[in-house]
Amino acid sequence: MSPLSHKFFVYKFHPLQVDFWKPDSPDLVTIGMNVDIHVPAAQLDMVFTILQQSGMEVKVMFENLQEAVETQMDNKMATKAHDYTKYNNWATINDWVISISSANADLISRQVIGNTYEGRPMHLLQVKLCLCKSLNRTLYTLVVNYYDLKGLVFMPQDRMWRKTRSRNSGSSCIGTDPNRNFDAGWCTTGASSNPCSETYCGSSIESEIESKNLANFIRSNKSIIKSYLTIHSYSQMLLFPYSYKYDLAAHHSELLSVSQGAIAALRSLHGTRYTSGPGAVTIYPSAGGSDDWAYDLGVKYSYTFELRDEGRYGFLLPESQIKPTCEETMLAVKYIANHVLNNPY
């Protein structure tokens, strides 16, 4: 795609109600980039015309998204109990969080750090991973179900909802992109001030109660939080600061080295290949991310996982890939955790 075709593409796609999967919006499309979009049937002919006029090569990944959603569930019998190999709804996950912490009180403690806009509890689990006697330290992992609202409640069948559920003053469009809502170059690049956009940055920094709850907890405990990991999909990448600017982080060399070791550990199990690097140049620039915010706050080892896959299934990863994805990702998490333990600051 030529620079002229690129400008034409961006200009034409702005007024359309097309769901950009990768990148998040037409503004983030660059020359040579693979772009994944979800197109409503009513706009299909128009979109194909624009793509042809733009000189882009087109490949249809899903002829029918609803069929793809049903395939994602692998046609297995649904169960009411939590299942590590299935996509569970919010109520099931909530029950599991309470149950596992109660059943393992010697290893797991639970607290609520606040509620979502719709009043659902945001649980935090403190998990004692290991006793490192040689270092005379105990490693704890803090897990927050921050994104419980994204598709798990509002649209449990297709899981395509990516924003919060708050109402926006002066607009009928609902929600804010929570990963554009933090104080890290807020709303300067790769984010939108339009409430109807999937990348809407919110009316102000931490305008979303979910963002504020998480930020308040981290601010109150920043002296003991040494690493911040946020899990997303998709692209098979391990990203670190910065995403809101092209400047290298002060600890760039170490962050890069750790990320390379982590993705090597991940690849060792199932052969899945990840790319690592600063967010702005490795995937695309985006402001307001929680990882950049945590790093600027002083949490040195801040990383974002973009899990499987690279685009074949996108957000509709089949349930058959849940287990191997979790297995390999834990190897990367353990690698990072070991580095943090052995390199106190």
Residue positions annotated with a catalytic role? 306
HEC profile for the chain? CCHHHHHHHHHHHCCCCCEEEECCCHHHCCCCCCCEEECCHHHHHHHHHHHHHHCCCCCCCCCCHHHHHHHHCCCCCCCCCCCCCCCCCHHHHHHHHHHHHHHCCCCEEEEEEEECCCCCEEEEEEEEEEEECCCCEEEEEEEECCCCCCCCCCCCCCCCCCCCCCECCCCCCECCCHHHCCCCCCCCCCCECCCCCCCECCCCCCCCHHHHHHHHHHHHCCCCCCEEEEEEECCCEEEECCCCCCCCCCCHHHHHHHHHHHHHHHHHHHCCCCEEEEHHHHCCCCCCCHHHHHHHHCCCEEEEEEECCCCCCCCCCCHHHHHHHHHHHHHHHHHHHHHHHHCCC
Backbone angles phi, psi at 29, to 5 degrees: -70, 130
